[in-house]
Amino acid sequence: MSPERPYFGPAYEYEIDPEFRPSYLNLERDVPSLPVEPGIVVRPVLGKRLNISFIYFEPQTVAPVHQHREEQIGTVLEGSLQFELAGQQRILRRGDVYVIPPNVPHGAVTSEEGCITLDVFSPPREGLRELVERSGNQGKGRISS
Amino acid sequence: MSPERPYFGPAYEYEIDPEFRPSYLNLERDVPSLPVEPGIVVRPVLGKRLNISFIYFEPQTVAPVHQHREEQIGTVLEGSLQFELAGQQRILRRGDVYVIPPNVPHGAVTSEEGCITLDVFSPPREGLRELVERSGNQGKGRISS
C-alpha cells in the first residue's frame, strides 16, 4: 500500500446524508426472512446504492435460470450448490465466488445438502425494498442518533 | 412474492456489456491477498458498480477509524471484532451486519481471536482496482466465451 494513498486514509471534510442512517443489524433479530421460491428464503439488508442478501436454500431446491438488470456478486457461505452462469455449470462451495454482470442469465440447484449464499446487488435488487417494507421489520437495528 | 413480479422473473430482451465478463473465482486460487495494514489482509473481487472484499484480521489488530465516499455494508463470517460506527461501539460476531453510509467514520479492533469479515462497497472502493491490477492475478477465474 503506497503511503500516498493509505487504505485507511485520513479524515476529510464531508457531508452525511441525514436520510441514510448507519446501523448495526443482527440477522436473526432484525432482518426479515422472505420466502421467494419453494425451499428458498432471502434475508436482505438494503443500502441506497447496493443491497446484500443472505439466501438460504433447502436441499433439492431450484432457483430457476433468470436475469436482471442489477450487477451481482455472490459467494457460498455454507454447503454447496450447482450454479449455472452464462450457460456454464459449476459445483460451488465455501470460498467460491461468482460475478454476474447485468442481464447475464444464471440459476442454481441444490442436491443432498442445503446451501447459504451471500449475494450482493447494485443497484439494490428490484422489488426488494418494497418486499422488506411490506414485511415491516427493517430498521430495528438502527443506531440512535 | 406476488405473481405479477416473481423474484426469478421471465427472460426479456437485453444487451450484455462485452467488456464485463461473467466469472467464477475461487478465493485461494484466483483472488490476490493484499496487505493493507499490519495484521490485515484483503481479498477483493471487483465488479463495475460494486466490489466485495474478504478481510482477514489477525488477533490484536487495529483497523483505524476512517471514512470514505463509498457506501459500505459488511458482515462477520468468522471470529469477532469490536466495531466502531458513528461513535457507537459493538462486539460483532457471525450473523451481525453493519450498514455504513458514505462518509460515516468507522473502524474495528480484534482482541484474543482473529476475524474474517465480508465487506461490500459501491462504487468499488477507491484505489482497489489499481491495487488488484498491480498484483496481476485478477481474472483467472473467467469463463471462456
Identify which of B8, B64, B99 has the shortest CB distance to residue A47: B99
CA distance A11 to A7: 12
Q: How many C-alpha atoms does B99 have within 13 Å on its Cβ side?
A: 25
- Cβ of B45 under 8 Å from any chain A Cβ? yes
Q: What is the DSSP string of B104-127?
A: --EEEE--SS-EEEEEEEESPPTT
Q: How far is B98 from chain A (nearest CA, A)?
A: 5
Q: How many C-alpha atoms does B145 have within 13 Å on its Cβ side?
A: 13
User: Smallest Cα–Cα separation from A74: which of A103, A34, A106?
Assistant: A106
Q: How confident is the model at residue B142 (pLDDT cuts 50, 70, 90)?
A: low
Kind of pairing between the strands at B71-85 and B115-122: antiparallel
Q: How confident is the model at residue B2 (pLDDT cuts 50, 70, 90)?
A: very low
Kind of pairing between the strands at A115-122 and A71-79: antiparallel
- Cβ of A57 under 8 Å from any chain B Cβ? no
Identify which of A14, A99, A127 has the shortest CB distance to residue B5: A127
The fraction of chain B above a pLDDT of 90, given in percent, is 72
Q: What is the pLDDT of residues B31-68, one digit of tens each?
A: 999 998 999 999 999 999 999 999 999 999 999 999 99
All cell numbers assigned to A1: 500500500
- Cβ of B64 under 8 Å from any chain A Cβ? yes
Identify which of B14, B67, B121 has the shortest CB distance to residue A14: B67
- Cβ of A12 under 8 Å from any chain B Cβ? yes
Q: What is the pLDDT of residues A19-76, one digit of tens each?
A: 899 999 999 999 999 998 999 999 999 999 999 999 999 999 999 999 999 999 999 9
Q: How far is B133 from chain A (nearest CA, A)?
A: 13
Does residue A86 come out as left (phi exceeding 0), alpha (psi in the -120 to 50 range) or beta? Answer: left
ipTM, 2 dp: 0.89
- Cβ of B111 under 8 Å from any chain A Cβ? no
- Cβ of B68 under 8 Å from any chain A Cβ? yes
Q: Which residues pair with A84 in a beta bridge?
A: A89, A107
All cell numbers assigned to B103: 462518509
Q: What are phi and psi of A128, to 5 degrees?
A: -75, -40
- B89-122 per-residue burial string, b: 16 or more CB within 10 A, e: under 16: ebebeeebbbbbbbbbbbbbbbeeebbbbbbbbb
Give this prediction's pTM: 0.90
CA distance A37 to A139: 25
Q: How far is A128 from chain B (nearest CA, A)?
A: 9
Residue B80, pLDDT above cutoff 60: yes
User: Which H/E stretch holds residue B91?
Assistant: strand B88-93
Identify which of A45, A90, A120 has the shortest CB distance to residue B97: A45
A101–B17: do the CB atoms touch at under 8 Å? yes
Residue B85, pLDDT above cutoff 60: yes
User: Smallest Cα–Cα separation from B100: which of B62, B128, B69?
Assistant: B69
Q: Which residues pair with B91 in a beta bridge?
A: B82
